[in-house]
Amino acid sequence: MQGAGADRPSWLPELAWALATALVATLVAIVDLELWRMDADVPLFGADGDAGYYLATVKNVVEHGWFWHNPDLGAPFGQSNYDFAAPFGDVAHYVIVAALGLVLGDPVAVFNAFFLVCFPLIAVVSYAVLRDLGAAPVAALVAGVLFAFLPYHLLRHQGHLFLTSYYAIPLGVWLVVTLAEGRTLLARGGSRRRLLAVVGACVVAGAASNYYAVFTLLMLACVVPVAALARGSWRVVRQGAAVGAIVAASFALCHSPAIIHPLLNGANENVGARAASESELYALTLARMVIPRPNHRVEALAAHGRGYASSTPLPVGEGFSPALGTVATLGFALALITLLATGLGAGARSLRRTRTAAAGATALAAFLIGTVGGGSALIAYELSSQVRAWNRLSLVVGFAALVAVALALTAIGDRLRARGRPAWTLAVLAAAVGVVGILDQTSPADAPDHPAVAAAWNADERFVSEMQERLPAGAQVLQLPYMSYPENGPLRGIPDYDLLKGYLHSEDLRWTYGAVRGRPADWLAQHGALAPERLAAAAAAAGFGAVYLDRAGYADGGAAAAAALERVAGPGRSGTSASGRLQFFDLHDAGERLADNTGRSERARLSAALLRPVALGFGDGFAKVIRGESGFRWAGPDARLTLDNPRGARSASFVAQLFGGTAAPSAVTLTLPDGTRRTFAVTDQGLPVSVPLAVGPGESTLRLQTDGPAAPNPPGVSRDLRLRVVEPRLEYPALQRDEYVAAASP
């Protein structure tokens, strides 16, 4: 980046300041997170919930090179991630992960290193941007470190690993502020170094999180045209359009595989669905930005935060992660005051005020878009609901506010020098601001409970190690109960993504969890109601080596499932975790008994029924799924379930529960592929149905027609909700036969 001042230091002192910024950020991270207590072989905050998802993606990149496909998940077909758009927005992060993987090799080490490296990385990028905007080195250092330690970073930690790597935010704000001040960023015949810096900033802004790319584009669209009007300059508009085009091109290029895949393989509406109402649930609020976090280190301030959290009628959303801290809050006020006093025109008394006003315009635009009922709601309801967590715009507000703080400190330093005060006076003042800011933004609650995290991780490690010792390399493991991927939500006592634990600790086993919902590889979804012993017998026929049981997913604590699996595997063929929650059952002997007692064609038929069921999908007439709807879909008066059978003719039974929209009875007519019709009387109390049918090769449909009234929609949603179809599936005779269970059992 090219500075505007005439008295720029040489690159060597500038490098020293940047290294000092990185060092200070690193030291703060060490102290705040108590890193001297961490176990290097254990994820810093554990691998529960979303942290498990991120660690799994890191492991995939380290072991297999990239995130598109993982052969160790979604067994036996592997996991394909093209339907899930989230990873494609994180390409810049994955590049860093891949580089760390080449150096460190171990996925856990890379997982921890990426999280910790991002503290100094964010601080240094912020420092570089602030220096370009005219901040004094010490002011840029302090503001950069404060930005790296916003509560947003510390409250999310590794649970939102890539959201906490927000080094792209300063670059996006820099693009907006410099364009708003009237600077030419892209010019023919200009400095090649400047051109590379600008293009690089645009590329990173478009490739380091879906959210942060969208935020940058929105800020460019909102602030730059207003600045152009204020300055009466079409050049500003042209520059903004060119910069926005590069950011958008980077974003589109990262997502191109996810765009092309559904064009070739059909769209998958079962993944990543968002409701417009979620934009209000996860909206930005001024109160949560400025009220102290409930675990503030000063008890009086913490009590103030808890009091607000317990009394506000607004939804919790993502808690107090948008909190700015005292220094950034004051900077936000300063930036807005400067904007109101100065405006975005060219008549400001100084370039510093122009930049502060531009930062204020950026912060104001971010707040007006992100706030409850603001521009984000209009975007969600009128354009697209796929971006929902608008409270994350607090990062844009926070950095714009710290631009104002850094420039104010620089102005104070200039005045002190003009009055004959020594140069170190500014350093003392800036250090005081930094210390107060860090103490205000951080909390003793930031540090994980290192011994507890290590104990839980090592217990799972021992359990999976026992599995690996018992099973041959490459063995496939059937995981129960079934949980869909991604974003299933918790299942009784199993948090989302917890079934990744086996994969995270294994070296050469393959796991059924992780097949993307709505694709043929997610075959286990078709057998969710099948008894565990029947699943185990069929899995043994299909060559699976073991069953992994998470007992927390069952109403009875998994007692019945464990007993049934024990009968199939045989005595002495299981292992249990120290907590008793996890259990595995070795199917090697069951597979040999099945081979001795059945013919090859029978086992092939059993395996095909298990792994290659007829693909049952939701076709025309079904309402779009919204977040929170799992295991069912709503249908209108005339809807079709699609059947895709790549094999020969097959016999099955269509099984589902049908619920009417209201208590009034309604007639539901089911038309089978051969034209046969069955009619049922259905109310909102539900009716289980089981209808035998023959499925021919190729594509066919099951048609559902109803004359019943529609159920009311959730707030903010408009759909025709006449018939609720719960857990529709096909059941196959081969999988229902008890003799196969008997043949596999001792």
Q: What is the pLDDT of residue 167?
A: 97
Half-sphere exposure (Cβ direction) of 535: Cα atoms closer than 13 Å: 27
Q: What is the pLDDT of residue 528?
A: 80
Q: Counting every residue, how long is the chain?
A: 746
Amino acid (one-letter) located at 480 = L
Nearest to 539 by CA among 527, 529, 550: 527
Burial class of residue 641 (count of CB atoms within 10 Å of its CB; 0-12, 13-18, 19+)? buried
Residue 699: φ, ψ to 5°: -105, 140
Q: Is the pLDDT of residue 88 over 60?
A: yes
Q: Please report which helix (H) or strand (E) contains residue 26, including its range.
A: helix 11-33
Q: Which residues lie below 8 Å from residue 148, measured CB to CB, with a gap of 6+? A: 25, 28, 118, 119, 120, 122, 123, 126
By three-state DSSP, how is residue 639 classified? strand
Q: What is the pLDDT of residues 285-338, one digit of tens each?
A: 999 999 999 999 999 999 999 999 889 888 777 888 999 999 999 999 999 999
Q: What is the pLDDT of residue 108?
A: 97
Residue 369 Cα to chain centre, angstroms: 21
**Angle, helix 588-597 to helix 559-569, in steps of 10 degrees:** 60
Whether the link from the prior residue into 76 is cis, omega within 30° of 0, is yes
Give residue for tokens 């080195």.
137
Nearest to 405 by CA among 126, 50, 30, 703: 126
CB distance 310 to 328 below 8 Å: no
Nearest to 97 by CA among 71, 60, 72: 60
Q: Please report which helix (H) or strand (E) contains residue 633, including its range.
A: strand 632-635
Nearest to 206 by CA among 195, 218, 194: 218
* Average pLDDT value for residue range 351-362: 93
Q: What is the pLDDT of residue 717?
A: 67
What confidence tier does 737 reach under pLDDT thresholds 50, 70, 90? Answer: confident
Q: Which residues lie below 8 Å from residue 106, measured CB to CB, with a gap of 6+? A: 41, 62
Average pLDDT, the chain: 91
**184-188, 403-407, 668-672 — which is least confidently predicted?**
184-188
Q: What is the pLDDT of residues 569-618, one digit of tens each?
A: 999 999 999 999 999 999 999 999 999 999 998 899 899 899 999 888 88
Rounded-to-integer distance, Cα 536 and Cα 545, Å: 10
Computed from CA positions of residues 616, 620, 622, 628, in that sequence, does the dihedral angle turn out positive or negative? positive
CB distance 168 to 204 below 8 Å: yes
CB distance 658 to 722 below 8 Å: no
**Hey, what are 297's tokens?**
């280190």
Burial class of residue 62 (count of CB atoms within 10 Å of its CB; 0-12, 13-18, 19+)? buried
Report the share of the chain in percent with pLDDT over 70.
97
Q: What is the pLDDT of residues 447-488, one digit of tens each?
A: 999 999 999 999 999 999 999 999 999 999 999 999 999 988
How many CB atoms sit inside 10 A of residue 382's CB? 9
CB distance 332 to 324 below 8 Å: yes
**Bridging pattern class, strands 476-480 and 546-550:** parallel
Rounded-to-integer distance, Cα 147 and Cα 140, Å: 10
Q: What is the pLDDT of residues 501-538, one digit of tens each?
A: 999 999 999 999 999 988 889 999 988 889 999 999 99
Q: What is the pLDDT of residue 8?
A: 53
In order of 632, 655, 714, 724, the CA distances from 666 in angstroms are 19, 19, 22, 12
- Could you give the residue ranges of the DSSP H alpha helices within 679-745? 733-736, 738-744
Q: Please report which helix (H) or strand (E) contains residue 658, including its range.
A: strand 650-660
Q: What is the pLDDT of residues 211-229, one digit of tens each?
A: 999 999 999 999 999 999 9
What confidence tier does 5 reach under pLDDT thresholds 50, 70, 90? Answer: very low
**Angle, helix 424-441 to helix 326-342, in steps of 10 degrees:** 120
Q: What is the pLDDT of residue 412?
A: 94
DSSP code at position 284? B
Rounded-to-integer distance, Cα 123 and Cα 675, Å: 67
Rounded-to-integer distance, Cα 480 and Cα 474, Å: 19
In order of 124, 125, 328, 616, the CA distances from 623 in angstroms are 48, 45, 44, 16
pTM above 0.85?
yes
Amino acid (one-letter) located at 86 = A
How many CB atoms sit inside 10 A of residue 718's CB? 9
Q: What is the pLDDT of residues 129-177, one digit of tens each?
A: 999 999 999 999 999 999 999 999 999 999 999 999 999 999 999 999 9
Q: What is the pLDDT of residues 252-284, one digit of tens each?
A: 999 999 899 888 888 887 787 787 888 888 999
Rounded-to-integer distance, Cα 62 and Cα 50, Å: 19
Rounded-to-integer distance, Cα 734 and Cα 738, Å: 9
Q: What is the pLDDT of residues 10-62, one digit of tens each?
A: 778 899 999 999 999 999 999 999 999 999 899 999 999 999 999 999 999 99
End-to-end CA distance of the chain: 73
Q: Is the pLDDT of residue 714 over 50?
A: yes
Cα torsion 9, 11, 14, 20 to 10°: value is: -150
Cα torsion 434, 435, 441, 446 to 10°: value is: 130
What confidence tier does 6 reach under pLDDT thresholds 50, 70, 90? Answer: very low
Q: Is the pLDDT of residue 630 over 80?
A: no
Query: Which range among 188-197, 411-420, 435-444 has the greatest average pLDDT?
Result: 435-444
Tell me what percent of the chain is helix, strand and coil, each rounded to the nearest 5: 55, 15, 35
- Map 362-426 to HEC letters: HHHHHHHHHECCCHHHHHHHHCCCCCCCHHHHHHHHHHHHHHHHHHHHHHHHHHHHHCCCCCHHH
Q: What is the pLDDT of residues 185-204, one digit of tens each?
A: 888 777 788 899 999 999 99
Rounded-to-integer distance, Cα 513 and Cα 534, Å: 19
Amino acid (one-letter) located at 495 = P
